[in-house]
Amino acid sequence: MSTIKIGALVDGRYRIEARIGHGGMAEVYEATDIINKRKVAIKMIREDVMRNPINLRRFKNEATIASSLNHPNIVKVYNHGTIEGRPYIANEFVRGQTMKDMLDFRGNIPLAEAVSYMLQLTSALFYAHQHNIIHRDVKPQNIYVMPDGTIKLGDFGIAVAEGVDDDLTKTSEIVGSVHYLAPEISQGKPASIQSDIYAAGVTFYELLTGHVPFDKDTPINVAVAHIKDKFPMVKKYLPACPKEIEKIVASATKKRLQERYKGADEFYDDLLEISKNPLLLKEKKSWLSRVFGFK
């Protein structure tokens, strides 16, 4: 069975209504849970993908890890099971776009809005970390933005329980997305809470500037830049960026773990402090713009 027919009933409770997307790993369907009378998204692993046992285990890993988490800024997993030999996950139905889609359309995001998104993301990460879960793939592609401004972190496919040996990846295999990869991961060290914080810091930088910090010609060169190159200033693209925001991005993306935020709560607290002072979120104007009205 390659696709599910519209109108089919999955596991005796999910009525398939539409195919709404497909990615490298899975097909996604809109469905109605006829027991709880709510919309859900049914994510089903693709047949060709599940032939690789690692992919199958990653999919099941996402189901078990994400279903243990319950936070307003994390995509909720309601249920998971198997239908005709293929695992599926019944997720909260998210009415929104990915943060990546939003950035592609809008470019950079205004300061106050970016801070609001990051407060929600760091809250979600702190909750996951409190439950000993390291996401390992924090990036705009895995964050959904609702029409009301709520964000939800999804895709826990390569998440891992902190302190547990990760048999989903070999020691030689780097997992995650290279543009958001903490330097220590590229150096072959295990992921930690602080790796997620680094990826969140890169995400904040991208929200503010519309650019990733290191955009080289090959993934290896990007990874090397994260290890060796000075992290660029937000002011490179946003000259009016307040120094308080610049400082937060810097604290989240320090190369040395000793200098980086120790926990997502520290990141959150600094963002919260700024959000309480609207004057700090006003972009500073140059004397040219003040005198002549230039941007």
In three-state form (DSSP H/G/I as H, E/B as E, the rest C), the secondary structure along 237-264 is: CCCCCCHHHHHHHHHHCCCCCCCCCCCH
Which residues are paired to 151 by β-bridges?
145
Please report the pLDDT score of residue 64 as a whole number. Answer: 87
Catalytic residue among 33, 137, 155, 166: 137
Q: pLDDT tens for residues 165-179?
A: 555 544 344 556 899
Q: Is 137 a catalytic residue?
A: yes
How do the domains of the chain map onto residue ranges? 9-92, 97-281
Confidence of residue 251 (pLDDT cuts 50, 70, 90): very high
Q: pLDDT tens for residues 199-246?
A: 999 999 999 999 999 988 888 989 999 999 999 999 999 998 999 999
Q: pLDDT tens for residues 119-142?
A: 999 999 999 999 999 999 999 999
Could you tell me where the beta strands, DSSP code E, fall in 53-200? Answer: 77-83, 86-92, 97-98, 133-134, 143-145, 151-153, 160-161
pLDDT > 90? residue 285:
no
Q: For residue 114, which of 293, 291, 286, 242 has the smallest C-alpha distance?
A: 242
Reported residue count of the chain is 295
At 11 the three-state DSSP class reads coil
Q: What percent of the chain has pLDDT over 70?
A: 89
Q: pLDDT tens for residues 96-122?
A: 899 999 999 999 999 999 999 999 999
CATH superfamily, domain 9-92, is Phosphorylase Kinase; domain 1 (3.30.200.20)
Please report the pLDDT score of residue 295 as a whole number. Answer: 47
**Which of the listed CATH numbers 1.10.10.10, 1.10.510.10, 2.60.15.10, 3.90.580.10 matches domain 97-281?**
1.10.510.10
